[in-house]
């Protein structure tokens, strides 16, 4: 899938999300998901300098390249904090098995002092991996993926569970990627729920999958003031990811939600559709 084309003014808004507060009082963060070589990244240097957080998807890189990646990323994205992720194939990644992943994660914690490390909440080696994150002094990103469609009640219950669990574990971020059974009916309630989290709760990172996934990612980051993930310009690493400049521009230019979420969500959908529209005469 080719990277989406964006509105001509997209670079004008990059980084402006820092001036906007959401319902929760947090400021949304556009996370760049690195899936290609950082020294060959297509983004302009002025844009790279504004990226606040880079997720390195180590499962997408050959292991003989791991040792040099942190240095290359620091050079390419000088202002960014770094998040290490080693995603299993069952969770949408390419790492093949559970048995070898804990050993590989230990190698990563020895390789670099990470700002954040991702651990799946429903993994059998969860406790060992959380222990490695704590030993490394990194922020814990507790994540979960639901690829089967979930209805409104189950979605509400799971988000509440994820936030409680993340808080209990002292996690910095509670991340959940979920395929919604009825996106148009479920998404407003999901947005309301994550917008009402207290500021001292773990930062939400909620990603709707399926129909409305692009608009849902933007809306969730704005409503919660949480993290949203965007691709590095080489194409989406997960369904619904927008390019980082486009995603960051939308976070910086769209208003926060009010009490009437359905109408606000429609405006977000329209803005995303416009941002992804082909440019006439270009």
Residue 90's pLDDT is what? 85
Tell me what pLDDT residue 165 has. 95
SS (H, E, C) 128-182: HHHHHHHHHCCEEEEEEEEEEEECHHHHHHHHHHHHHHHHHCCCCEEEEEEEECC
pLDDT tens digits along 112-138: 999 999 999 988 899 999 999 999 999
How confident is the model at residue 271, as a pLDDT? 97
pLDDT for residue 247: 97
Which CATH entry fits the domain spanning 19-272: 3.40.50.360, 3.40.50.1970, 3.40.190.10, 3.20.20.70?
3.20.20.70
pLDDT for the residue numbered 24: 59
Q: What single DSSP character describes residue 48?
A: H
Q: If the chain, 282 residues long, is cut into consecutive pieces of 10 residues, what is the mean pLDDT of each piece?
A: 37 33 74 92 93 96 95 96 94 86 95 96 92 97 90 90 95 94 88 90 92 94 96 88 96 89 91 84 38
Which alpha helices (DSSP H) does the chain contain, by range? Answer: 10-13, 45-48, 69-76, 98-111, 126-136, 152-168, 183-195, 213-224, 244-253, 261-275
Q: pTM, whole model, 2 decimals?
A: 0.88
As a whole number, the mean pLDDT across the chain is 87
CA distances from 9 to 49, 89, 117 (A): 18, 37, 33
Measure the CA–CA gap between 63 and 114, rounded to whole angstroms.
18
Each domain of the chain, given as residue ranges in start order, spans 19-272
How do residues 242-273 score in pLDDT, each as one tens digit? 999 999 999 999 998 987 788 899 999 999 99
Residue 243 confidence (pLDDT)? 95
**Per-residue model confidence (pLDDT) at position 121:** 92
> What is the Cβ-side half-sphere exposure of residue 168, based on CA atoms within 13 angstroms?
7
Element (H, E) at 52: none
């Amino acid at each position: 899938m080719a990277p989406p084309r964006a509105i001509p003014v997209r670079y004008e808004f990059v980084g402006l999300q820092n001036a906007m507060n959401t319902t929760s009082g947090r400021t949304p963060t556009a996370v760049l998901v690195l899936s290609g070589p950082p020294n060959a990244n297509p983004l302009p240097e002025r844009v790279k300098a504004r990226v606040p957080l880079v997720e390195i998807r180590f499962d997408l890189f050959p292991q003989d390249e791991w040792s040099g990646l942190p240095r290359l990323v620091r050079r390419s994205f000088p202002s960014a904090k770094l998040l290490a992720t080693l995603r299993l194939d069952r969770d949408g990644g390419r790492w093949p098995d559970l048995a070898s992943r804990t050993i590989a994660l230990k190698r990563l914690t020895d390789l670099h002092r990470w700002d954040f490390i991702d651990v799946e909440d429903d993994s059998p080696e969860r406790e060992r991996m959380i222990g490695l994150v704590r030993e490394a002094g990194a922020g814990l990103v507790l994540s979960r993926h639901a690829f089967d469609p979930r209805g409104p009640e189950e979605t509400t219950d799971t988000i509440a569970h994820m936030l409680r669990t993340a808080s209990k574990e002292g996690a910095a971020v509670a991340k959940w990627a979920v395929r919604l059974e009825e996106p148009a009916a479920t998404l407003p309630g999901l947005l309301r729920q994550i917008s009402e989290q207290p500021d001292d709760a773990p930062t939400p990172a909620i990603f709707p999958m399926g129909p409305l996934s692009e608009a849902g990612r933007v809306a969730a980051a704005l409503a919660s003031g949480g993290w949203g993930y965007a691709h590095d310009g080489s194409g989406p690493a997960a369904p619904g990811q927008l390019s980082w400049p486009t995603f960051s521009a939308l976070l910086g230019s769209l208003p926060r939600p009010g009490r009437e979420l359905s109408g606000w969500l429609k405006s977000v959908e329209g803005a995303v559709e416009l941002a992804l529209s082909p440019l006439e005469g270009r």
